[in-house]
Structure 1
Amino acid sequence: MDKQQVMNFLPHRDPFLFIDTVKEVILPESLKDKTGPFKPQDIIGGKSICTFRVDNSVKVLEGHFPGFPILPGVVQVEMMAQAASFLVIHCLEKPISEAKLDVQLLGVENAKFRKPITPVMDLEIHATLNKVRGPIQMYECELYNNGELMSQCSVMASLKITYK
């Protein structure tokens, strides 16, 4: 998915949209030869992989920190939460263009910020679904730059899909 397709699905907008592309959405092995739509609990073990380029045009870097820009940890967590949203594409009963996503971040655990993220870095964001309870989903998320783990956390979110 390109940036426009991302914006057609996520409710976020600049300056708080932190996904440039969806590189891949991978179903669990048990669903490899099956077609959806699936229930959220069916896609446990699935993974979304997204990208985001951190450059000097990222607005939050203007104040964090002038002369030495570092992407704030809270933005990294938000980025991982946004990436997690894309796995539910396999649960859609209608085309993605008709879907409206209602997403709420409910919790974050075990956040670790291993290395500073600075301009210019091309990040790859991984989000793996590991638990579902009703509309609540739990993900293990990781942020990479050139294959190096930069940060990670567990994200709990409520994801509800309605149709336009």
Structure 2
Amino acid sequence: MSEPVDIIRILDLLPHRYPFILVDRVLEYTAFDYLIATKNVTINEPFFNGHFPGNPIMPGVLMLEALAQASALLSNLSRSPKEGHEFMYFFAGIDNAKFKHVVTPGDQLRLEVRLIGQKRDFWRMHGEAFVGDKLACSADLMSAAKEIKSDR
């Protein structure tokens, strides 16, 4: 098990930025195994302006994106690129997506991803997002990794 990963380190590991960074903190992870992270959902999220006025609900596709970002974090925390390079992870596929519970302002989304398999630069993970003990959504996610020159 590992130490928590704060937002500063997350921003170093992911290319996403506001308003599209959907992971606030990694609570724990084991390389090449699993990762647990959180997304604090607030009324200030830009998507609530239109989804839906008077009845704000986090779009399901953004819950899936949060799981995809958690998957990329697990992948990035599991291996190191060559000197002067970094890994970029591309969302390559999704299977068995299910939505079970709405997510609203004030909720904390707990993101849990587990590595199912890795072959060369393709990673397959199973992800589940919870609000408290209620399953909000789940899916099998696939990503493709590409090692690129770092501009940092």
- Given the two structures, how large is their TM-score scaled by the length of structure 1? 0.82
Structure 1 residues without counterparts, runs of 5 or longer: 28-42
Moved over 6 A (4+): none
1:94 positional shift = 6.8
The aligned counterpart of 2:15 is: 11
Would the alpha carbon gap of residues 153 and 23 (structure 1) be closer, same or farther in structure 2, given more than 3 Å must change? Answer: same
1:93 positional shift = 5.3
1:115 positional shift = 0.7
Would the alpha carbon gap of residues 150 and 58 (structure 1) be closer, same or farther in structure 2, given more than 3 Å must change? Answer: same
1:163 positional shift = 5.7
The aligned counterpart of 1:126 is: 112
1:128 positional shift = 0.5
| Match 2:52 to one of 46, 58, 65 | 65
The aligned counterpart of 1:113 is: 99
The whole-number CA distance in structure 2 between the counterparts of 1:163 and 1:23 is 29
SS at match of 2:143: strand
User: Do residues 22 (structure 1) and 10 (structure 2) align?
Assistant: no
Identity among equivalent positions (%) equals: 29
Would the alpha carbon gap of residues 161 and 25 (structure 1) be closer, same or farther in structure 2, given more than 3 Å must change? Answer: farther
What do residues 48-92 of structure 1 show as CA deviations (whole Å, max 9, x unaligned)? 111100110111111100110111111011000000112221211
- Given the two structures, how large is their TM-score scaled by the length of structure 2? 0.88
How many residue pairs match? The answer is 145
Structure 2 residues without counterparts, runs of 5 or longer: none
* Aligned CA-pair RMSD: 1.7
Q: Which has the higher helix share?
A: 1
